[in-house]
């Protein structure tokens, strides 16, 4: 009897987690239905508010797995492939703890308050769990006031005993409806986004360097002939420290008289390493350093003593990239673009100030094959619509496109 009781709670948790995650997998397989996403999202939050307390534990664990099972894939390329299942399990535990506050109450209105509070948190600086994200392609809006209205509409009926008025709080769903987002316009330039598919285990090998550079210049020449104003390449498309290659710099500067070139590379400066974007235009160039690093991939979000131990033990000193102090804007043919490199394009910091257009570049090959590019794309939609920004995204291994 006890085993059956436990199994039922686990199954209910898995169902809740699945409803909360299905929109990602539908998008991954090209199925985009606002109606379906709305129904699935509302159903998921109804269950989060009303399921038994013990089911919350498996709900949080499986949400962590369904959303982030792929994070550990990148460890393979750092000689730590044995850690992949450990990292996957750790993300399950992390989100079990994230949703754990719901376990301590069975009152729906208190859970609603807790969920609203959790929507502001990013455990270990990892902010890809946006509780509003299931509604990014739905009839429900993604702003905080709409999320609050949704939670209120679904939880307040539990406080009303009079059957005649029990479901009147559902009228609050009218406040949660998506009535449209800020206006998003296309930049007044002809822009070419280059998407590549260079395997991560090949990308940094000496044999891959010449074919990669040849491909880049072929794309530049073709784009120039086709009349493009701007060509954008993915993150670290040049698998090298650009400032240590003066001949390559000169060639790019020469090519930039015909077309503006934006491409990712590395920068070594004063014994420090930077993940950067180079913008070549009219025989000159500008560098944009990354502002927000990837937790555990480029920095360790722990106290300094733990950072040093983990960095040296597991990453061989690789997670030591240095950041810029503020976002970088490129002025390209009179149009201002905010620069964003991969993870930072899905953080609020990069959208502060006067931002209409963003150039985002990613290397998603770290996580191939997985749903990571799909989840990233959904998050980019979330931020683009939240702030009214049009994003021009160039990626290695899936995800390139204009995002509004």
pTM of the model: 0.93
Reported as a single tens digit per residue, the pLDDT across 152-196 is 999 999 999 999 999 999 999 999 999 999 889 999 999 999 999
291-309 average pLDDT score:
68
Residue 272 is predicted with a pLDDT of 81
Reported as a single tens digit per residue, the pLDDT across 60-85 is 999 999 999 999 999 898 888 999 99
Q: What percent of the chain clears pLDDT 70, i.e. is strictly above it?
A: 92
- Better pLDDT: 323 or 53: 53
Q: Which of 235, 298, 344, 372 is catalytic?
A: 235
- How far, in Å, are 87, 260, 284, 381 from residue 332 at the CA level? 41, 7, 12, 23
243-259 average pLDDT score:
96
CB-based contacts of 147, cutoff 8 Å, min separation 6: 116, 119, 131, 132, 176
Closest CA to 96 of 73, 75, 71, 67: 67
Tokens 């970088």 belong to residue: 328
- The whole-angstrom distance between residue 265's C-alpha and the CA centroid of its chain comes to 20
Tokens 């285990």 belong to residue: 201
Active site residue 132: no
Q: Which of 192, 203, 289, 290 is catalytic?
A: 290
Reported as a single tens digit per residue, the pLDDT across 195-225 is 999 999 999 999 999 999 999 999 999 999 9
Active site residue 192: no
- The whole-angstrom distance between residue 121's C-alpha and the CA centroid of its chain comes to 15
Q: Which of 132, 192, 289, 342 is catalytic?
A: 342
Is residue 316 predicted with pLDDT exceeding 60?
no
Residue 314 is predicted with a pLDDT of 55
341-359 average pLDDT score:
96
Closest CA to 403 of 150, 100, 128, 193: 193
φ/ψ of residue 341, rounded to 5: -110, 110
- How far, in Å, are 283, 332, 337, 357, 390 from residue 188 at the CA level? 22, 11, 12, 10, 12
Residues 152, 364: Cα–Cα separation, whole Å: 38
Residue 375 is predicted with a pLDDT of 98
Residues 162, 166: Cα–Cα separation, whole Å: 6
- Distance, first Cα to last Cα, the chain: 52
Active site residue 54: no
Is residue 306 predicted with pLDDT exceeding 70?
no
């Amino acid at each position: 009897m006890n085993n059956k009781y436990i199994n039922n709670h686990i199954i209910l948790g898995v169902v809740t987690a699945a409803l909360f995650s299905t929109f990602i997998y539908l998008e991954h397989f090209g199925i985009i239905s606002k109606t379906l996403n709305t129904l699935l999202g509302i159903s998921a939050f109804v269950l989060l508010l009303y399921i038994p307390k013990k089911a919350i534990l498996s709900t949080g664990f499986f949400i962590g797995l369904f959303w982030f099972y792929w994070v550990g894939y990148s460890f393979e390329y750092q000689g730590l492939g044995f850690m992949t299942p450990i990292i996957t399990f750790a993300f399950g535990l992390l989100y079990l703890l994230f949703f754990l506050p719901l376990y301590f109450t069975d009152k729906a209105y208190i859970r609603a308050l807790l969920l609203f509070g959790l929507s502001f948190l990013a455990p270990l600086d990892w902010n890809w769990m946006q509780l509003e994200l299931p509604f990014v392609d739905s009839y429900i809006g993604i702003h905080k006031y709409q999320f609050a209205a949704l939670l209120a509409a679904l939880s307040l009926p539990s406080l009303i005993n009079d059957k005649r008025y029990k479901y009147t709080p559902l009228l609050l769903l009218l406040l949660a409806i998506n009535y449209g987002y800020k206006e998003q316009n296309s930049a007044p330039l002809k822009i070419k986004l280059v998407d590549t598919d260079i395997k991560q285990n090949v990308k940094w090998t000496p044999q891959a360097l010449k074919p990669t550079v040849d491909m880049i210049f072929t794309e530049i020449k073709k784009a120039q002939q086709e009349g493009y104003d701007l060509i954008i390449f993915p993150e670290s498309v040049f698998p090298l420290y650009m400032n240590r290659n003066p001949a390559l710099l000169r060639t790019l500067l020469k090519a930039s008289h015909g077309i503006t070139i934006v491409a990712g590379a590395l920068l070594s400066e004063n014994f420090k390493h930077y993940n950067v974007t180079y913008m070549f235009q009219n025989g000159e160039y500008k560098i944009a350093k990354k502002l927000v690093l990837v937790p555990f991939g480029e920095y360790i979000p722990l106290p300094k003593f733990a950072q040093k131990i983990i960095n040296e033990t597991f990453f061989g000193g690789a997670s030591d990239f240095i950041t810029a102090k503020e976002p970088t804007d490129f002025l390209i043919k009179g149009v201002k673009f905010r620069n964003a490199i991969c993870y930072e394009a899905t953080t609020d910091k990069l959208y502060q100030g006067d931002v209409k257009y963003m150039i985002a570049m990613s290397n998603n090959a770290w996580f191939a094959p997985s749903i990571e590019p799909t989840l990233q794309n959904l998050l980019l939609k979330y931020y683009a619509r939240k702030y009214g920004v049009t994003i021009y995204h160039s990626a290695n291994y899936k995800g390139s496109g204009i995002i509004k």
